[in-house]
A = this chain, B = another copy of it.
């Protein structure tokens, strides 16, 4: 397989974006990505959209986005893998470049969630659980992740302070990220005192629904070197795995097997181990999810995620800096945009453009994007020359 390079990245501010339609958000990210890469629109031969369609009044987004970007008649289609839809789009775009079908492809993750109210969103999200056997009986996403948290506490002694420590860190870095939805530090006491959503998860353990878009432009090696010059970041490992829709069928609830499988693929392709990852964006839809991700990705041992986080090993300067953009938790989680936004962040880290959040000299980074409750997982390894 040929090498795939990233030659342009852009993302909108995340949050409540009542100022823009979903296609306008996509356009904003697209313009930023072109400007970032110094690219003309003409070089982009196809577009892949990552989004979960049912959140928008407008259905079939690829059509409305491609028209708004003035890219007709070039190919466009959408990919969906729940909250990992953006990573599915990136994977599809990379495959089309590696197949030789196109030289340069744009990936746009975009989502407007605030057109719906929270109850509608919870109901829709619940239906990403198994409708026949689970969500029909009332499971919601906070409920699922609360079960993971309870089991993790039971087996490994993880505490609510460990959970809250993730929130504190991610709000700390969110405060430093101009694109983040929440830009305020919080204390452990404040996180602990927040209202319970689904025990043991409180408000500050949960990410926020948001509007936003992100765009990444990928190219085959030759086009990347010609267009991206010395700023290219390479996608050297791309893992993808699935797991059962229903948690009923999971052998254990303290981690996500799909993460482990996807990471193994990505590490093997890139010829690295977890130890080599200098900066990572992981899927912290809930604080427990970040703790499980650290374990599943091999940043720490199974069951050690809580103490690992508490010891500030995921901060800048720690063994494995994680979510220095604030994560889903503080940056916000417009579901289709998230995987693409993670990619923008790691590219910026590998180019040394992150200012106060920069991991000095980072050359190898990772993104980890989960769909649903681990039904899908995409792990990518990124590297600069």
Contacts and interface: CB of A to CB of B under 8 A. Distances in A.
A376 interface: yes
Interface string A27-40: 00000000000000
Query: Which of A1, A92, A99, A372 lies at the interface centre, i.e. has the most chain B CB atoms within 10 A of its CB?
Result: A99
A95 interface: yes
A376 B62 CA distance: 9
B66 A242 contact: yes
A76 B80 CA distance: 10
B99 A261 contact: no
A72 interface: yes
A257 to B, nearest CB: 6
Interface string A88-109: 1001101111111100000000
A130 interface: yes
A70 to B, nearest CB: 10
Given A1-B101, A99-B98, A375-B60, A80 B77 contact: yes
A155 interface: no
Interface in A207-252: 238, 240-246, 249
Contacts of A59: 52, 54, 82, 124, 127-128, 131
A74 interface: yes
Given A58-B131, A64-B130, A131-B58, A73 B1 contact: no
Contact of A132 (B58, B74, B371): B58
Given A257-B73, A375-B60, A244 B100 contact: no
A296 to B, nearest CB: 13
A78 B77 contact: no
B128 A60 contact: yes
Query: Which of A59, A88, A101 lies at the interface centre, i.e. has the most chain B CB atoms within 10 A of its CB?
Result: A59
Contacts of A159: none
B242 A371 contact: no
A258 interface: yes
A63 interface: yes
Nearest to A64: B245
A380 interface: no
Nearest to A98: B99
Interface in A44-84: 46, 52-54, 57-60, 62-64, 66-67, 71-82
A198 interface: no
A80 B82 contact: no
A21 interface: yes
A353 to B, nearest CB: 29
Contact of A72 (B91, B96, B128, B243): B243
Contact of A372 (B63, B72, B95, B128): B63
Nearest to A75: B240
A82 B100 contact: no
A315 B376 CA distance: 45
In order of increasing CB-CB distance, the 9 nearest A-B pairs are: A63-B375, A98-B99, A75-B240, A63-B245, A77-B88, A58-B131, A77-B81, A59-B127, A78-B80
24 contacts: A1-B100, A1-B101, A52-B60, A54-B54, A54-B59, A57-B127, A58-B130, A59-B124, A59-B127, A60-B80, A60-B81, A60-B82, A62-B242, A62-B375, A62-B376, A63-B376, A66-B245, A67-B245, A67-B246, A77-B91, A78-B88, A95-B101, A98-B98, A98-B100
